[in-house]
Amino acid sequence: MTHPLPRRIALGLGAAVLAAPALRAQPASIRIIVPFAAGGSTDAVARLVSPGLTQRLGQPVIVENRSGAAGAIGTDAVAKSRPDGTTWLLTFDSHAVMPVLLPSLPFDLTRDLDPVMLIGGAPYVLATKTDKPYRSLADVVTAARARRDGVSYGSTGNGTIGHLTMIQLQSRTGTSMPHLPYRGGGLAVNDTVAGHIEMMIGSAALVAPHVSGGTLRAVAQFGPTRLPGLAETQTALEAGFDGLTAEAWWGVFAPHGTPAEMVARMNAALRETLNEARARQMMEQTQQARLVLSDPEGLKTFLDAEIAKWSRVVRENNIRAD
């Protein structure tokens, strides 16, 4: 025997049915994939921009860390995602070295990803403990020539931009500087502060707080001009090493085939977000960054030049990934 539903239950079910389309119409979340672990500068930049992007795009923006294989795992996830505007990559300078260090990548950087924006860059900085005798690149080169075992330095790994910069310095001066690769910048800083290694190279964002705190001394910076926060530290160019520049940078990419209007919308939202006073201050002071906020073509031109530059250094010096 069939029993009719009480009127209040039937009305409730009807209301739920009517509300269902509205629930399904909720805007889809946007993922910004960071191909490195939480806590690094790339993760920090992604989390800095996500609230502003949520506000401007009208969709929840979620930062997802997919670390491993020098950034290749997270990058591959984006390269294989649907080009529907819901998945984006925010990555670091190692992106430009990846193809030559990891030749068996399951994706092609220039074919499978579309450029969105070059956010900006921060120079690499060579630093030492304050009681060490090195105050300039000239001091480092002189010591490396005089000592049989050279002058050791730490970096965040084989094939990183910092490592490749020091390889160039040794090549141009005919010196030996034994390399000690670390798994993270914090570890390299700790051993430098403790005096276990002579010096280290890292991004200005990593090194500058320790310089201002008095535990490290900046020996040289590798940007085109001096940072305001390191106004007393020579650039490599000023020290006589023309062309020896190296900057950490952050860029945003989309899966290949993402519609141009979606790329333009994300680019505009990023620009507006990073031009806000608080975000700009965080980038310029905490990350020691020079903001660029390029259009997609600007990132493409920049990336092509970076890939060509660092691939040549890797090949000429037979560098291998960790």
Clarify whether residues 146 and 172 are in a common domain.
yes
Tokens of 138: 């000239």
Residue 21 lies in a domain: no
Q: What is the mean pLDDT of the chain?
A: 90
Clarify whether residues 129 and 276 are in a common domain.
no
Domain boundary among 230, 261, 294: 230
Clarify whether residues 70 and 207 are in a common domain.
no
Give the structural domain span for 35.
30-122+249-316
Instruction: For residue range 254-297, list pLDDT tens digits in order.
Output: 999 999 999 999 999 999 999 999 999 999 988 889 999 999 99
Asked if 251 and 95 count as a contact pair (C-beta separation under 8 A), the reply is yes
**In the chain, how many domains are there?**
2
The CATH number that applies at residue 135 is 3.40.190.10
Clarify whether residues 130 and 215 are in a common domain.
yes
The CATH number that applies at residue 51 is 3.40.190.150
Q: Please work out, in degrees rounded to the nearest 5, the angle formed at the alpha carbon of residue 230 by the alpha carbons of 190 and 237.
A: 105
- Among residues 154, 203, 202, which one has the least CA distance to residue 178? 154
Instruction: For residue range 14-68, list pLDDT tens digits in order.
Output: 554 444 554 555 678 999 999 988 878 899 999 999 999 999 999 999 999 998 8
Measured between alpha carbons, how far is 215 from 224 in angstroms, rounded to an integer?
25
Instruction: For residue range 125-184, list pLDDT tens digits in order.
Output: 999 999 999 999 999 999 999 998 889 999 988 889 999 999 999 999 999 899 999 877
Clarify whether residues 130 and 73 are in a common domain.
no
Measured between alpha carbons, how far is 164 from 172 in angstroms, rounded to an integer?
12
In the three-class reduction of DSSP (H, G, I as helix; E, B as strand; rest coil), residue 66 is classed as: coil
